[in-house]
Amino acid sequence: MHYLWWGLGLLVVTLSTLAPARLARVPLGWLPLTAMLRAVVQLAAIALILRGVLAVPRTVALFVVLMLSTASWTAGGRISEIPRGRVFALIGVLAGASVTLLLVFALRLVDLEARYVVAVAGIIVGNAMSAATLSGRNFVRDARARREEVEARLSLGATPARAYDEIGREAAREALLPTLDQTRSTGLVTLPGAFVGALFGGASPVVAAQFQLVVLAGIALAMLTTAIVVTRLAGRSPYVVMARAES
């Protein structure tokens, strides 16, 4: 009975997002509902998988690889307008997440235990995915808006990397701003999920705060690394998005 009531409550909250979207004519369609239904199915499956993963710590690496693969594929689909966008997303997510996770666990900021590896990797990989998507889409948007400027630089002999350098840097910066703003307001405006989750798990406020700070630092590093890699790779090859915009 408890789970039935909980499920109905979750459904009400989810359906409630449809009303303001319809009233404001935000073109979301049924996406809030379908996204939540997909999340329910996926989390149920992951909960079952994690029971096995945590029981057999050696399988954690395979689970992290699954997360990286899924994140790269998702981000790649969002920036498919960039030639070889899926490859760039894969390289970016792998670079950002790998560097961050290696540093966090090598410096013993978090204990190298299966449950912590899964928790931290899930947060870091998810944010690296967001960085790949945001930076890639910002790059496409700005490249189209500044097409004449880029063409002028190319006509003067600049390499594609040089012609798109400023666009790439701005795209990476814009991808990070929301996260950095959230970091600055942590504790005053928001109580982040890692902090709250650690508290619910029985950790003291001090330990929860330590864990959250490690997560925030890791997110910033992973997102910045991913955004730089994606935008640099996108700017190093002749940019086909220009041609697509003309057609």
| pLDDT by 10-residue block (mean), the chain, 247 residues | 83 88 86 89 84 78 88 90 89 95 94 87 94 94 87 85 90 92 77 72 80 91 95 78 47
Statement to judge: residues 15 and 80 lie in one domain? no
Q: Is 82 in the same domain as 160?
A: yes
150 and 33 part of one domain: no
Alpha-carbon distance 143 to 154, whole Å?
13
Do 125 and 99 form a contact (C-beta atoms < 8 A)? no
Note the pLDDT of residue 244.
46
H helix runs in 107-192, sequence order: 114-145, 147-155, 160-163, 165-184
Two tokens at 104?
Answer: 């966090």
How many residues are present in the chain? 247
- Considering the domain architecture, whether residues 75 and 145 belong to the same structural domain is answered as yes
DSSP three-state, residue 235: helix
In contact, 136 and 78? CB cutoff 8 Å: yes
Task: Please state, in angstroms and rounded to a whole number, the distance separating the CA atoms of residues 137 and 210.
Answer: 33
**Quick one: angle between helices 31-55 and 114-145, nearest 10?**
150
Q: What is the pLDDT of residue 247?
A: 44
Same domain, 135 and 121: yes
Q: What is the DSSP letter of 240?
A: T
Residue 38: give the domain boundaries.
Answer: 1-55
233 and 126, same structural domain? yes
Which of 9, 33, 55 represents a domain boundary (last residue)? 55
Q: How far apart are CA 69 and CA 94, in angstroms?
A: 9
Quick one: 128 and 118 in the same domain? yes
Same domain, 46 and 145: no
Number of Cβ within 10 Å of residue 114's Cβ equals 17
Total domains, the chain? 2
Whole-prediction pTM value? 0.79
In degrees, to the nearest 5, what angle opens at C-alpha 188 toward C-alphas 122 and 107? 40
Q: What angle do CA 219, 87, 137 make, to 5 degrees?
A: 60
Give me the pLDDT at residue 19, please: 84
Co-location of 20 and 76 in the same domain? no
Report the pLDDT value the prediction gives residue 239, as an integer from 0 to 100.
Answer: 56
Q: Are residues 37 and 124 in the same domain?
A: no
